Amino acid sequence: MKIYLDNCAYNRPFDDQSQIRIFLEAQAKLHIQRLVTANKLKLACSYMSLFENNDNPHEERHFSIAEFLNHASLFVDYDKAEKIEIKAAEIMKCNIKNKDAIHIACAIEAKCDYFITTDDDLAKKYTDNDIVICSPVDFIKITGEQDE
């Protein structure tokens, strides 16, 4: 199973954990991360993943996320940018912001099964059958992915 996480999912473990939703999403993201490092899930990332992470003003977050991105088994690079931009323009018609649309287009290009985000609006706005968009918690519920 191939997954793609957006920037807000990567950053969730660094958010204020005093809110139960944030805590649960952070734990689910860390669980997903363990599954990726154990090679039970395939991680895809893209030039947009690197761009947003390189723009992260928090050094600890930046390096932690960069280290995890090294586990990606598939990378969507700039050589696909023209194709990505066309798909992203189509996605933006669903009232989705440019960066988010590029992330989704990259995940679709990588033939990911799931796009994992903590942004509730993305799943509500983009409902095409190209990819399943869900939260880290919903991903675990849907797939039943567990440590063994």
What are the Cα distances from residue 66, in Å, to 15, 36, 63, 98?
Answer: 17, 14, 5, 22
Q: What is the pLDDT of residue 103?
A: 97
- CA separation for the pair 147, 36 (Å, rounded): 11
Structural domains of the chain in order of their starting residue, each with its CATH number: 2-143 (3.40.50.1010)
What are the Cα distances from residue 142, in Å, to 22, 102, 108, 145?
Answer: 19, 24, 19, 8
Q: What is the pLDDT of residue 80?
A: 92
Q: What is the pLDDT of residue 123?
A: 84
Residues 3-37 pLDDT 10s? 999 999 999 999 999 999 999 999 999 999 999 99
Q: What is the pLDDT of residue 129?
A: 86
- CA separation for the pair 84, 100 (Å, rounded): 12
Exposure b/e, 12-49, CB count within 10 A at least 16 = b: bbeeeeeeeeeebbbbbbebbbebbeeeebbbbbbbbb
Q: What is the pLDDT of residue 147?
A: 58
- CA separation for the pair 57, 76 (Å, rounded): 24
Residues of the chain whose pLDDT is less than 50? Answer: none
Q: What single letter denotes the amino acid at residue 80?
A: K
